[in-house]
Amino acid sequence: MALLTDRELHELVDSLSRQHFHKPFQDQVQFNFRLRTTGGRYIPVKRVIELNPKYAAEMAGDEFIGIIKHELCHYHLHIEGKGYKHGDADFKKLLKQTGSPRHCTPLPSQPEYKYLYRCKDCGQEYRRMRRVNTGRYRCGKCRGRLMKAEGE
């Protein structure tokens, strides 16, 4: 999917809002190029939906539409004064009704992990984005010593 203009993005969000929630989307939606680990976010104070442009560029259209529907759940529940946070029952119920995803899938360009550690005793593997001090930490399964695995 090509990157949309601000007007096209607002029209897409408004059409999805009318189609799935039967209500218009009257506030602001924009791409936020600084988002890294999330597909989008809703800012209640400003009533703004921010979307990660990488999901529009790298993923299939269904994934990006799912992210928009998820953020619209936050938006409409907040406006109605209902529970709009992830743990609220109203939010979970609306996600189910609209077929919105609870979480987005990771981007293909985002690495799964950088470092791989293995327990010397039981062989349990630990994948980490950050380095681990092997002298300080032990295996959570058998309390054995950790070592850096080969082929990282």
48-51 and 28-31: which strand pairing? Answer: parallel
Domain ranges of the chain: 6-98, 115-148
> Mind listing the pLDDT tens digit for each residue in 55-92?
988 888 899 999 999 999 999 999 999 999 999 999 99
* Confidence at residue 84, expressed as pLDDT on a 0 to 100 scale: 96
> For this structure, is 11 an active site residue?
no
Residue 152 has pLDDT above 70, yes or no: no
What class, spelled out in words, does domain 6-98 have in CATH?
Answer: alpha beta
Average confidence (pLDDT) over 28-46: 94
Look up the pTM and report it: 0.77
Two tokens at 141? 């399964």
Average confidence (pLDDT) over 12-32: 96
Residue at token pair 């442009």 = 53
Residue among 8, 58, 71, 112 flagged as catalytic: 71
Average confidence (pLDDT) over 37-66: 93
Share of the chain above pLDDT 70, in %: 97
What is the DSSP secondary structure assignment for residue 138, as one 8-state letter? Answer: B
Residue 151 has pLDDT above 70, yes or no: no
Residues with Cβ within 8 Å of 8's Cβ and at least 6 positions away in sequence, in order, are none
